[in-house]
Amino acid sequence: MSMGYGSIIDRSDRVVSLDAFRGFIMFSMLLHTFGLKDVADVPVVGFIFAQLNHVPWVGFHFEDLILPTFLFIIGISMGISETRRNERGESPNVRTRHAFKRAAILFVIGFIGTWIAAGKPSLGPGVPQVLAFCYFGGYLFVRMSVKMQFIVCAALLFAYWFFIFVIPIPEAGRNSYEVFKNLVYFIDNRLTGSTSRWGYLYPTITSVAVVVYGSIIGKILAGWPSPARFMKTLAVYGLIGVACGLLLHPFIPVIKRMFTPSYALFTCGLASLLLLLFYWIIEVKGKVKWSFFFVVIGMNSIFVYILDMLFNGWLVKTTNVLLNPWADYLGGWISPGAELMRMTVLWLICLWLYRRRIFFKL
């Protein structure tokens, strides 16, 4: 737990746009589908509901941007932290112990959450476990030069594709991107017994590439570049990432559940452009107040995620009970109402912590 950060107006200690960006992504993660299933027949609501669901297989919805963007943000924080640790002269051994401890805690948290959800010990996929593997994997390359890190990113993306291209699997052969008939699923199913379409182990290759890319952005940001230079960098990297992802798509499909190289490039590009928007509005235009809602979440992002992971079901049931007397009036909107109340409770808890300058850090 860390205490004593400056206010969101104090730019000497924090990059406000990054805190707000982190909060926005965590807020999006906490939304889930916002209970919109029963009112999805309303045209605009139906579009929003679709965007809050992952694409069944090939393609892209807003929901598919959240996890890679969070990995991207982890990388940015890692790059900034590494620069500051270098300035303090902190030894590599101390940094490695810290990184290992942080990854281990994340994994244990995820394992417990998966255990609770499954009702038994399970090595199945979970977001904290993915974050743990990718965080430590990205750390292994953070002390490299930016040039070498770009080479690592490219090598990881190539390695992911290469093994899928050359290793045949039952019923599909080589170079398969079919649901349940691909190397990603095959490895997960054999090693963890998972029957999910989600990639868990093999996609760590491309997920780590996203963290490494984020750490490059973090190092650039930690050098306090001029706003114009930093925005130009984000714009160029973002557009190149989106373009490369789309160009690869006909050959290596954009598939979130496999975390394909095209998906990694495409989402890195979008994440860069989205950060550019936050940076421009907050740091350049000076419009800070609107971001307070997201900053409150962003300053305790891991804590609020764990809180939701453990108490989501209870919160939804409780809020539904509170709304039941108005069920006849609310109709299909009772579920969104319950979700709104759940999100309000989570935000108020974060606000209480923020006001008391309590910030949980692994």
The average pLDDT across 300-305 equals 92
Over 80: is that where the pLDDT of 284 sits? yes
Over 60: is that where the pLDDT of 298 sits? yes
Give the lowest-confidence range in 77-86, 120-129, 137-146, 290-299: 120-129
In DSSP notation, 306-360 reads: HHHHHHHHHHHHHHHHHHGGGHHHHGGGHHHHHHHHHHHHHHHHHHHHHHTTEE-
User: In the chain, what percentage of residues exceed pLDDT 70?
Assistant: 93
Q: Give the pLDDT of residue 352.
A: 96
CB-neighbour burial class of residue 144 (10 A; exposed 0-12, middle 13-18, buried 19+): middle
- pLDDT, one tens digit per residue, over 54-103 is 999 999 999 999 999 999 999 999 999 998 888 888 888 898 999 999 99
Give the lowest-confidence range in 7-21, 138-152, 193-207, 312-326: 7-21
Over 90: is that where the pLDDT of 249 sits? yes
Q: Give the pLDDT of residue 309.
A: 85
Q: Give the pLDDT of residue 255.
A: 96
Over 50: is that where the pLDDT of 195 sits? yes
**pLDDT level of residue 118 (50, 70, 90 thresholds):** low
- pLDDT, one tens digit per residue, over 264-274 is 999 999 999 99
The average pLDDT across 297-309 equals 92
287 vs 25, 28, 269, 350, CA distance in Å? 19, 21, 24, 22
**pLDDT level of residue 197 (50, 70, 90 thresholds):** low
Over 50: is that where the pLDDT of 10 sits? no
Specify whether the CB–CB gap between 246 and 269 falls below 8 A.
no
Structure tokens at 48: 């929003």
Over 70: is that where the pLDDT of 159 sits? yes
Q: Please indicate, yes or no, whether the overall pTM of this predicted structure exceeds 0.85.
A: yes
